[in-house]
A and B are shown apart, each in its own frame.
Chain A
């Protein structure tokens, strides 16, 4: 397993465990956790906290006959068998992301953004947008800031910006204070999953004009 240097923030881990995040953010968290044991353990720790809170919750009495109803329901319901071992993970696309693509990398329906950059927007509920980005080796994404949160998870290749170098499994968390110009490594094409909860602010006229067209 590759070494991961850039992890989820505590608040993202907590939000995922609590179930309070938009779908697109859940997706990038699930994809990162699929590759990162550290964050998986952090999510499980926060789920344990959720369990402790459930135990600590003030009880509200169930309706009369609720237990009998439940017993009647389970008597007719067969328990599901213990799951068999899952298949080998895909080397690029983690399972939760494959669900949204409807397969592997070959099944992505890319749309060109110019300069060889391509994107594919994934279908999620409103609140945040998830997209796959393909950045050819050595290409720079225009300098941009953010109105909201931008999360970028590297699936293949690597990119660098003011925050450091991000390789497979690393996630960059950029917020309203971040201005950056990511540059893909020259060695390989970079494929990322990017999630935003607000439109990006591009500097320079052309990207700003393109923004509504490409929904960046």
Chain B
């Protein structure tokens, strides 16, 4: 659990975990892992998701520029690919990614690792920017839960959520190409919504109940506090 410990030193460049210093070769590594399905690679992927979340927390708590650079190297090109597939041209996508990454820095305090992975949180920021950019419409957000996010995330909850997300990622990667393409299209706005989740059999039920449990647990904790 060492990677979740807040670094004591103040120099951001010294506070990167060893795995993150060699950022350049990671994406080719990921592609290889997708084809070699075995237990070892799955646990690597879990560690990877948890690491992204830990980096985000470092930005939140320490304004860690090296953590920002590592997240940028991994996610910015993917965000650009996502936005181009959604109908933005290269210049718009480039600009939009800059906005997403700046938002990540400014709103890092809103990141709740018990409820979302770093990839999920970035996806929601990029989705909202895309709607502003391409459709010039609003996307109202639900009312915040009355008890808000917990100030100190429970490490086990956080790791559990990151693992669930990783399992979902593995499931997406393992889909037959046609189904995988279909679900990408639904999320990139290339086609209207449909019952794709049901057809592809993704383990949404699992992650749904997982999040539900976390919400229930938090709510009970808050009820207990209110009764006093």
Contact = CB atoms under 8 A, between A and B. Distances in A.
A120 B122 CA distance: 36
B94 A66 contact: yes
Contacts of A162: none
Nearest to A86: B144
B143 A96 contact: yes
B13 interface: no
Interface in B71-117: 72-73, 75-82, 84-85, 90, 93-94, 97-98, 101-102, 105-110, 115-117
Nearest to B76: A62
Nearest to B80: A60
A79 B140 contact: no
Contacts of B145: 40
Contacts of B105: 74, 77, 79
B89 to A, nearest CB: 12
A116 B11 CA distance: 68
A95 B143 CA distance: 5
B221 interface: no
A61 interface: yes
B20 to A, nearest CB: 14
A33 B20 CA distance: 37
Nearest to A81: B109
Nearest to A39: B142
B193 A70 contact: no
B106 A52 contact: no
Contacts of A33: 142
Contact of B116 (A44, A70, A83): A44
A82 interface: yes
Interface residues of B, number: 93
Interface stretch (A23-31, A179-187, A201-209): A23-31
Contacts of A71: 65, 68-69
B79 A54 contact: yes
A62 B90 CA distance: 9
Nearest to B91: A63
B217 interface: no
Contacts of B146: 85-86, 88-89
A53 B182 CA distance: 11
A57 B68 CA distance: 20
A56 B212 contact: no
B21 interface: no
A45 interface: yes
Closest 8 CB pairs of A and B: A51-B120, A15-B193, A59-B77, A51-B119, A96-B140, A34-B143, A95-B143, A125-B137
Given A54-B122, A62-B77, A86-B143, 20 more contacts: A18-B188, A20-B189, A23-B138, A30-B140, A30-B142, A44-B116, A46-B197, A47-B120, A48-B164, A54-B78, A57-B184, A60-B90, A62-B76, A67-B73, A77-B105, A79-B59, A80-B106, A83-B109, A88-B146, A96-B142
Interface of A: 10-12, 14-15, 17-23, 26-27, 30-31, 33-34, 37-38, 40-63, 66-67, 69-71, 73-75, 77-83, 85-86, 88-89, 94-97, 99-100, 124-125, 127
